[in-house]
């Protein structure tokens, strides 16, 4: 897995939980978004493009947009169906589209299957996603995206670092770090505060967080704040200064600089283009 693919993070579009499904309504379909089938029980055979495989308990099957996804239930199936797109927290020369193409090539080499090592963690995240999906508000939207990102990054990390002995040691600490960031992401706090909370140095925090999640804690925090800013820009009449305060930034000027650097567009332009 390359550093480029690590910079991608998923943005949830929709989630559907299917219980005891004997057959698919459509045996073949093509999606405009990325889709994920996370198997809770049962099994199904599938073909994505020219590659065939079988999805069983604990497997996560990912199909890129525009690909023919053929599937047949082989044993009564309970699964999560998730549609999502990608964004990137890294300011790189590669576009998101180019990174997605690179990711698609990597996934094809493993039959588009991600087998997670710790199934209980996957099950817990999926169960939380199932419960949260019935509620539609900003707080649950951000929480659902966090759950999906945790599922995605953990699957990718397990795939890439299955033999890394430090993984089991760092997971618990980094989970605490992620929880702290989500609880305080819209407040004024520093990574020094977080490092002190965890009892490690800021340098250790950055290294261990990036090794576990794939990005630095600062970029992880920035992604959450920018997602919040994007929603407030399109869904409210708040001024840029008010949005900055709601996202944990000191002022609108700084928000504008960070937003423009990451999104390649100013907040005002984003609001004009995405307002409904």
DSSP per-residue string spanning the chain: --HHHHHEEEEEEEEEEEEEESS-S-SEEE-SSEEEEEEEEEEEEEEETTEEEEE-TTEEEEE-TT-EEEEEEEEEEEEEEEEEEEEESS--SS-HHHHHHHHHHHHHTTTTEEE-S-HHHHHHHHHHHHHHTT--SHHHHHHHHHHHHHHHHHHHHHHH-TT-TTHHHHHHHHHHHHHHHHHHTTS---HHHHHHHHTS-HHHHHHHHHHHHSS-HHHHHHHHHHHHHHHHHHH----HHHHHHHHT-S-HHHHHHHHHHHHSS-HHHHHHHH--
Domains of the chain, start order: 3-137 (2.60.120.10), 177-274 (1.10.10.60)
pLDDT at residue 72, as a whole number: 94
pTM of the model: 0.55
pLDDT at residue 171, as a whole number: 53
pLDDT at residue 169, as a whole number: 39
Residues of the chain scoring pLDDT < 70:
1-7, 89-94, 115-120, 132-142, 154-171, 275-276
pLDDT at residue 11, as a whole number: 86
pLDDT at residue 134, as a whole number: 53
pLDDT at residue 89, as a whole number: 58
pLDDT at residue 82, as a whole number: 92
């Amino acid at each position: 897995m390359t550093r480029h693919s690590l910079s991608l993070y998923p943005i949830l579009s929709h989630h559907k939980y299917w219980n005891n499904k004997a057959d698919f309504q459509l045996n073949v379909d093509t999606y405009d978004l990325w889709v994920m089938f996370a198997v809770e029980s049962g099994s199904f055979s599938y073909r994505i493009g020219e590659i065939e495989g079988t999805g069983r308990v604990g497997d996560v099957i990912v199909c890129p947009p525009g690909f023919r996804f053929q599937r047949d239930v082989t044993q009564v199936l309970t699964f999560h169906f998730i549609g999502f797109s990608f964004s990137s927290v890294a300011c790189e020369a590669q576009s998101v589209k180019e990174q997605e193409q690179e990711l698609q090539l990597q996934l094809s080499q493993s039959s588009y299957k991600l087998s997670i090592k710790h199934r209980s963690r996957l099950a817990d995240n999926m169960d939380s996603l199932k419960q949260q999906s019935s509620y539609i508000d900003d707080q649950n939207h951000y929480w659902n995206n966090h759950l999906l990102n945790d599922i995605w990054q953990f699957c990718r990390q397990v795939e890439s670092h299955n033999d890394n002995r430090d993984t089991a040691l760092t997971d618990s600490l980094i989970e605490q770090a992620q929880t702290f960031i989500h609880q305080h992401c819209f407040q004024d706090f520093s990574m020094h505060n977080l490092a002190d909370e965890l009892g490690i140095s800021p340098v250790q925090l950055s290294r261990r967080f990036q090794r576990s999640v794939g990005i630095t804690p600062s970029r992880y925090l920035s992604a959450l704040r920018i997602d919040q800013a994007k929603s407030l820009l399109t869904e409210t009449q708040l001024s840029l200064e008010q949005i900055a305060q709601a996202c944990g930034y000191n002022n609108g000027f700084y928000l504008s600089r960070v937003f423009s650097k990451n999104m390649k567009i100013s907040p005002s332009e984003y609001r004009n283009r995405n307002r409904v």
